[in-house]
Chains A and B, each alone.
Chain A
Amino acid sequence: MTTVATDAVMDYDEAMTKFDPVMGLEVHVELHTATKMFCGCPTEFGAEPNSQVCPVCLGLPGALPVVNEKAVESAIRIGLALNCEIAEWCRFARKNYFYPDMPKNFQTSQYDEPIAFEGHLDVELEDGSVYRVEIERAHMEEDTGKSLHIGGATGRIHGADHSLVDYNRAGIPLIEIVTKPMVGAGERAPEVAKAYVSALRDLLRALDVSDVKMEQGSMRCDANVSLRPRVGEPLDEAQLEVPLGTRTETKNVNSLRSVERAVRYEISRHAAILEGGGSILQETRHWHEDTGITTSGRVKSDAEDYRYFPEPDLVPVAPTRETVETLRGTLPEPPGLRRKRLQSDWGYSDLEMRDVVNAGAVELIEETVAVGASAGAAKKWWLGEPSRRANAEGQDIVTYAAGLGLTPAHIAELDGLVAAGRLNDSMARQVLDGVLAGEGTPTAVADARGLELVQDDGALEAAVDKVIEANPDVAAKIRDGKVAAAGALIGQVMKEMKGQADAGKARELILAKLQ
C-alpha cells in the first residue's frame, strides 16, 4: 500500500519568500568494530536472527556491560576529525523507556557528558562555496534490536498481527552526531543538509570507523526542521535574531537524496500550515521514500521523560591527553583537502573533479592510478559504462563494481592494453563489456573474443594502397595540402581492416604516401 498524501504543501520558492528555514541534523553511525559496545558478540550485518547474542546484549538478569575500548577510540577519532573538544572525564547514562526491541528497557547512552563536543565541519556546496556546520556533540551509545512487524498494511507496529525481534543489532556501538541549529542557509537548506551528510559520510569512511551504508542502516539521519518568518536575507542580523519556530523531527531518512527531499518537503509542509494560520505540532515524522512525503509519527511533548542518570554499572571514561594526541596522529587527511590534492595530481578541471566526486569514484580512481593507469583513462573508464550501469541499478559505483568483481586492477590492465597499442578505443569498450559480463580479466576477454589490432604493417599498407587507388580525388586533395580529408580515407581503411587496425597508424601511412 502506498501512503496517501493528506498534507497541504506550499510551493518551495513561495515558501522561501515568506520563511527562513532552520535545521538540526542528528546522524547515528554504527561503528564497524569487530565486537559490540558492551560485550564480545560479533557485529556482522545480515546474520541469522538472534545468532549474535549473549546474556549481556540480551539484557539477561545479572549480566553487566564492559566498554569496548576500540569503540571509545573510534568515538574520540570522530570527535577530533569534527574539530571537537574531547572530554577529560565523562560517563555513560541510562536513557529509560520501554520498548520490546530494547532488551534492558533502557539504552546505555551518554547524556550531559558526551565524549566529544563543540566542533565544526566545513561543507563544500555544489558551487564551490563553503558552509560551516557547527557540531554540538558526538556521543557513544548502543543500538537497539530490530522489530519486524508481521501482518497489517504498513509494516509498522500499528495494525500488525504480531512482531518478531532480532537482537543481533542490539548493542552494536553507535555514535550520535548532533549539529547545532543550522541557520543562514536560506533556500539552500536542503542542499546544505545533503552536503553535510555526504561530507560526514566521506569523513567517516576516511576514518575507517564505519561502513556508512545508509541503505543498510549503518548510517541513519534524523532531520529537524523549523521555520521562522522571513525578515531579510538569511544572514542578516535581524533575520538571525528571529526566534526559532516549532520543529518536527523526520526519522530515518536513509539516502542522501532523501535527506534533501525530506528537508524540502517539510519546509513546504510547515510553510503551508503556518501560512494558513495553523501551528506546527512538535512530533516525529516518518519519511516515505516512494511518495516523497512525511507522515505523522509520535507526538513529542516535553512530558516525555527518559529519566537519565549516570550508568552505575560502568566506570567513567577518562582518556588521557596523551591518548587523545596519539589518536589525533592517526587522523587521515581531511576529505576536502585530500580532494584538492588529488585534483591537482590528476590534472582534472573543477567540473571533472565534481563529476568524479558525485559519482563516488574518488577512491576507485585513486586505486586505479596507483596500479598504473593514467588519471585520464581511469576517469574515462570508471565514469563510463560501470557508472552508467550502477546508476541504472540504483547502486553506488563502489558497491556495484565490488558486486561484479570489477577492480581497479582490471581498469589499469585495460588502459595498459590500449596504451600498448593492442586495443583501440572501440575494442577496449567491447573488452570492458566482457569484463562486466564476468568473462574474465581484460586480457582474457580480448584473447577469447579475438580482439587485437593488426600489427602486420604489410596488411595495413596494402589496405592503404587499395583505398588510395580507389579514391583518386581525395588523394589529390591531400596532396594539395588538405590534410583534413585524410579522415575519409582512414574510415575506409578501418573498414577494409574490419576494425582491427590502429587508426593513428593508418593516418600516418596515408599522409606519408601522399605528401
Chain B
Amino acid sequence: MTDLPTDLTRATAADLAGALASGAISSVEVTQAHLDRIAAVDGQVHSYLHVDEAGALAQARSIDDRRRAGETLGALAGVPIAVKDVMTTKGLPTTCGSKILEGWIPPYDATVVSKLREAGLPILGKTNMDEFAMGSSTEHSAYGPSHNPWDLDRIPGGSGGGSSSVLASFQAPLATGTDTGGSIRQPAAVTATVGTKPTYGGVSRYGLVALASSLDQAGPCGRTVLDTALLHAVMGGHDPMDSTSIDAPVPPVVEAARAASVKGMRVGVVKELGGEGYQPGVRARFDESVALLEELGAEVVEVSCPNFEYALAAYYLILPSEASSNLAKFDAMRYGMRVLPEGIDAPSAEQVMAATRDAGFGPEVKRRIILGTYALSSGYYDAYYGSAQKVRALIAQDFDNAYAQVDVLVSPTAPTTAFKLGDKLEDPMAMYLNDIATIPANLAGVPGMSIPSGLADEDGLPAGIQILAPATKDERLYSVGAALEAALVDRWGGPILDRAPVLGAAAAKGA
C-alpha cells in the first residue's frame, strides 16, 4: 500500500479506502479533514451549495463503528463524497442550482444516493451546477458561479463545475455528476480531473432531477481513473425504479482500471472532432496522448463520423423539447418557491404558476423552455423534433460503423481550456459550442470518459482527452484511460494537480 500523505485531502480515494480498511485511519478523521479543507477554501472556489457537516460526521462515525464491530464493508466505505445538487437527498436541500427549488427538502433519496449511503460513503454536501444542468460554466447557477482552482477567474466547466472544482481543490476525493451533453466530461477536462459518462441506462436516473430524460446519465468523478472506476462500480447497476436502466451487472470497470492495458487495441481518432475551432495547445496535448497510446501498444487509425456535424443542432432541439416538458412540474402548487403576482387581488392558479416560473427560472432555463415548447408545437414537430430524432439515428449509425473498425474512439474533450468567467455568458452559441465533442455520445447513448492530457502551452491551463466506447463496454474506457494516465503521470513526474496553484489561508499567508 502507498503511504498516505500527511494531508489526507491529497490522497486518492483508493489509498484512503486501503488505509480505512486496514484501520490505519478512521472515516471521522478523513471526513473531518475534508470538512476543514472546505472551511478553508470553499470561500474562494464556491463548489458547494450546501455542506452537511453533522450528517457527514454521523455517517463517518457509523462506518467506523461498523468496521470496529467486524462488519464486511464496501470497497469505498468511509471515503467521503460530494453529491451534485441535481440528485435528491432525503433531508438535505436539493436545488439544482435554481431559485425555484430553494428550500425544498426531498422526502426521498435518489437511487444513486441510496447506493452511496449503503456503500458507506459519508456525504459532505451538495455541489453547485448550472441551473437544472443547463450550461457549461456554472455561471447559470442561481447561487453564483464556482471558480476553477487553476485560475479563480475562470470557469470550472459545467454543468458539473461544482463537482469538478471540489476535486481539483481537494474538497472531496470523489464526487457524483450527471452528463446530458458533456456535464461530467467537460468540467473534468478544464480542471484536470477524471469523469465518466456511463452507457445510457448504466446508472439509475431515479432521483436525478431530469433535464432531458433520453440524454441524462449520472456518472462518477474522481482525480484518478481507478478512483473513478471504484465509484462507478458503487453507482452503477440495474434499478427497477428506472425503466430505462440496463438489466445487467456493472461492466468490470475496476478490473479494467487495474489492468490498465491498451495492448492490441484499435483506437480511432475521430476526424470530425479536432479540426477548426480547437485551441492549438489542446490539440497538441491530444496528439501527444495519441502518440503515447501507440507507444503503449495500441493501433491508431483515423475514422470518420460524417453526421457528427449535425449533432449540436439535433441536441439543441431534443434537449429543450424534453426539458420544456420535464420542467413543467415546477408550478408552485406542491413544493418549492411560490410567488404571488403583483397587483392582482385574488390570483388564479395559472397566474401564480406564471409569476413563480417567471421569478424562479433563470434566463437560460427560460430560453430552453421557449425553444422546446416551440419545437414540439403542432405543425413544427416533424420539422424540428422529428428531424432531430432522425439525425440521432444517423449519429448512432456513425458510431456503429466506427466501432466495426476500432475498439474505442478518442478526441479532445472540449475545444478549449477554461475560459474566463463572463466571457461567453452573453453568447449562448459560443457557450453551446463547448460541448461539440461530448454531445454525440449522449445522442447515441454510448459511454465516454475524460482524463487530463496536460496543460496547454499558450495558457498553462488543463486540457482533456475524451475516450469513447461502444454501449455497455464501459470497461474499455478504464483500460485505455488508466494506461494513458500512468504513462502521462510518469512523463509529468507526478499527478498533474500537484501543479495547480495553492489555495486557502495557507496561500494567502504565503506558506
Contact (Cβ within 8 A) A62 B209:
yes
Contact of A307 among B207, B330, B373 (CB under 8 A): B373
B349: which of A64, A66, A94, A163 is its contact (CB, 8 Å)? A163
* Cβ–Cβ contact B240 & A94, under 8 A: no
The reply on B353 being an interface residue by CB < 8 A is yes
* Nearest chain A residue, comparing its CB with the CB of B389: A310
Question: Which one of B108, B208, B325 has the highest number of Cβ atoms from chain A below 10 Å of its Cβ?
Answer: B325
Q: Which residue of B lies closest to A161 (CB)?
A: B346
Q: How far is the CB of A363 from chain B (nearest CB, A)?
A: 38
5 shortest interchain CB distances as A-B pairs: A105-B328, A312-B213, A307-B376, A312-B214, A62-B207
Known: A100-B333, A106-B325. A64 touches B106 (CB 8 A): no
Which residue of chain A has the shortest Cβ distance to B322 in the bound complex?
A312
Supplied contacts A62-B87, A62-B210, A307-B378, 17 more A-B pairs, CB within 8 Å: A55-B106, A60-B335, A61-B329, A61-B330, A61-B335, A62-B110, A62-B208, A63-B206, A66-B240, A94-B325, A96-B324, A98-B331, A98-B353, A103-B334, A105-B329, A307-B324, A312-B214
Q: Which of these binds chain A: B11-19, B185-193, B241-249?
A: B241-249
Q: Which residues does B use to contact A, with CB under 8 Å?
A: 87-88, 94, 96, 101, 104, 106-108, 110, 205-210, 212-214, 240-244, 321-322, 324-325, 328-331, 333-335, 349-350, 353, 373, 376-378, 381, 385
Complex Cα–Cα for A65 and B147 (A): 37
**B350 proximity list for chain A (CB < 8 A):** 98
- Contact between chains at A98 and B328 (CB < 8 Å): yes
- Which of B106, B328, B353 contacts A60, CB < 8 Å? B106
Pick the contact of B376: A96, A163, A315 (CB < 8 A): A96
Pick from A61, A64, A104, A165: contact of B242, CB under 8 Å: A64
Determine whether the beta carbon of A305 is less than 8 Å from that of B243.
no
Give the residues from 71 to 112 in chain A that come closer than 8 angstroms, CB to CB, to chain B: 94, 96, 98, 100, 103-106
Q: Are A61 and B206 in contact, CB atoms less than 8 angstroms apart?
A: no
Which residue of the partner chain, among A55, A59, A163, contacts B108 with CB atoms under 8 Å?
A: A55
11 contacts between A and B (CB under 8 A): A55-B107, A60-B108, A61-B101, A62-B88, A62-B209, A63-B108, A63-B206, A64-B242, A100-B333, A307-B373, A312-B214
Nearest B residue (CB) for A147: B349
Say if the beta carbon of A58 comes within 8 Å of chain B: yes
Min CB gap A439→B, angstroms: 51
Contact B206 A64 (CB under 8 A): yes
Q: Are B243 and A65 in contact, CB atoms less than 8 angstroms apart?
A: yes
Contact of A309 among B243, B321, B353 (CB under 8 A): B321
Does A314 make an interface contact (CB < 8 A)?
yes
**CB interface residues, A 252-282, toward B, < 8 Å:** none
A428 to B106, CA, bound (A): 64
Q: Which of A61, A64, A104, A314 contacts B94 (CB 8 A)?
A: A61
Please, how many angstroms separate the alpha-carbon atoms of A216 and B10 in the complex?
65
A315 CB contact (under 8 Å) in B110, B212, B244: B244
In the complex, A58 Cα to B331 Cα: how many Å?
13
- Contact A309–B328 (Cβ < 8 Å): no
Instruction: List chain A residues, Cβ under 8 A from B88.
Output: 60-62
Q: Decide if the interface of chain B is mainly helix, strand, loop or mixed.
A: loop
Residue of A nearest to B349 (CB): A100
Provide the residues of chain A in CB contact with B325, threshold 8 Å. Answer: 94, 96, 106, 307, 309
Does A313 lie at the interface of the complex (its beta carbon under 8 Å from any beta carbon of B)?
yes
Q: B209 to A61, Cβ gap below 8 A?
A: yes
A240 within 8 A of B: no
The answer to the question of A150 belonging to the interface, with a C-beta cut-off of 8 Å to chain B, is no
Interface residues of A in 46-67 (CB under 8 A from B): 55, 58-67
Residues of B within 8 A of A55 (CB): 106-108
Minimal beta-carbon separation of B123 from chain A (angstroms) = 16
Question: CA of A163 to CA of B376 in the docked complex: distance in angstroms?
Answer: 31
Q: Which residues of B contact A315 (CB under 8 A)?
A: 243-244
Q: Are B376 and A62 in contact (CB under 8 A)?
A: no
Instruction: Kindly list chain A residues whose C-beta atoms are within 8 Å of the C-beta of B349.
Output: 100, 157, 163
A98 to B328, CA, bound (A): 8
Instruction: Decide: A62 near B206, CB < 8 A? Known: A100-B333, A307-B373, A315-B243.
Output: yes
Contact A66 B241 (CB under 8 A): yes
A window 143-175: CB within 8 A of B? 157, 163, 165
B115 nearest CB across to chain A (Å): 15
Q: How far is the CA of A42 from the CA of B328 in the complex (A)?
A: 26
Most buried by A among B214, B242, B376, B377: B376
Report the minimal beta-carbon distance from A369 to chain B, rounded to whole angstroms: 47
Nearest chain B CB to A296 CB, angstrom units = 19
Q: Are A105 and B331 in contact (CB under 8 A)?
A: yes
B241 touches A313 (CB 8 A): no
Question: How far is it, in angstroms, between the C-alpha of A507 and the C-alpha of B78 when the chains are bound?
Answer: 98
Report which residue of B209, B333, B373, B381 has the largest number of chain A beta carbons within 10 angstroms of its beta carbon: B333
Q: Are B378 and A313 in contact (CB under 8 A)?
A: no
For residue A62, which residues in chain B have a CB less than 8 angstroms away from its CB?
87-88, 94, 106, 108, 110, 206-210
Q: How far is the CB of B11 from chain A (nearest CB, A)?
A: 32
Q: Which residue in B205, B212, B377 is a CB contact (below 8 Å) of A64?
A: B205
Bound-complex Cα distance A312 to B385 (A): 13
Are B329 and A104 neighbours in the complex by a CB distance under 8 Å?
Answer: yes
**Most B C-beta atoms less than 10 A away, residue of A94, A104, A313:** A313
A165 to chain B minimum Cβ distance, whole angstroms, is 8
Collect the chain B residues with CB atoms within 8 Å of residue A94's CB.
Answer: 325
Bound Cα distance A163, B88 (Å): 29
| Closest Cβ–Cβ distance, residue B445 to chain A (whole Å) | 12
Q: How far is the CB of A116 from chain B (nearest CB, A)?
A: 21
Residues of A within 8 A of B333 (CB): 100, 165
Q: A61-B101, A105-B331, A309-B381 are in contact. Are A67 and B243 (CB under 8 A)?
A: yes
Q: Cβ of A61: which chain B residues have Cβ within 8 Å of it?
A: 88, 94, 96, 101, 104, 106, 209-210, 329-330, 335
Q: Which residues of A contact B210 (CB under 8 A)?
A: 61-62, 313
**Cα A163 to Cα B352 with chains together (Å):** 13
Q: Which A-chain residue is minimally distant from B357 (CB atoms)?
A: A98
Give the shortest distance, in Å, between A299 (CB) and chain B (any CB): 16
**CB-based contact B329/A64 at 8 Å:** no
Residue in A63, A106, A165, A314 whose beta carbon sits within 8 Å of that of B243 in the complex:
A314
Distance in Å from the Cβ of A402 to the closest Cβ of chain B?
37
Query: Cβ of A63: which chain B residues have Cβ within 8 Å of it?
Result: 108, 206-207
- List chain A residues, Cβ under 8 A from B328: 96, 98, 104-106
CB distance from A137 to the nearest CB of B (A): 19
* A157 partner residues in chain B, CB cutoff 8 A: 349
CB < 8 Å neighbour of A305 from B107, B334, B377: B377
What A residues does B242 contact at CB under 8 A? 64, 66
Q: Does B334 lie within 8 Å of A64, measured CB to CB?
A: no
A457 to B330: give the CA distance in the assembly, Å.
85
CB distance from B356 to the nearest CB of A (A): 12
Q: How far is the CB of A170 from chain B (nearest CB, A)?
A: 11
Q: Given the complex of chains A and B, what is the CA–CA distance between A416 and B210 in angstroms?
A: 67
Residue of B96, B210, B240 with most chain A CB atoms under a 10 A cut-off: B210
Q: How far is the CA of A346 from the CA of B415 in the complex (A)?
A: 84
In the complex, chain B residues whose CB is within 8 Å of the CB of A106: 325, 328
Contact indicator B244/A103 (Cβ below 8 Å): no
Q: Interface centre among B106, B207, B329, B335, by most A CB within 10 Å? A: B329
Q: Across the interface, which residues of A come within 8 angstroms of B94, CB to CB?
A: 61-62
Flag A287-312 by CB within 8 Å of B: 1 or 0 each: 00000000000000000010111001
A94 to B101: give the CA distance in the assembly, Å. Answer: 23
Looking at the assembled complex, report how far the CB atom of A354 sits from the nearest CB atom of chain B, in whole angstroms: 47
Closest to B328 in A: A105
Across-interface contacts of B381 in A (CB, < 8 A): 307-309
- Residue in chain B with minimal CB distance to A38: B243
Once bound together, how far apart are the Cα atoms of A459 and B212, in whole Å? 92
B365 to chain A, nearest CB (A): 14
In the complex, A66 Cα to B245 Cα: how many Å?
Answer: 11
Q: Which of A98, A104, A165, A307 has the most chain B CB atoms closer than 10 A to its own CB?
A: A307
CA distance A96 to B322 in the complex (A): 11
Which residues on the B side are within 8 Å of A312 (C-beta)?
212-214, 244, 322
A371 CB, min distance to chain B CBs, angstroms: 44
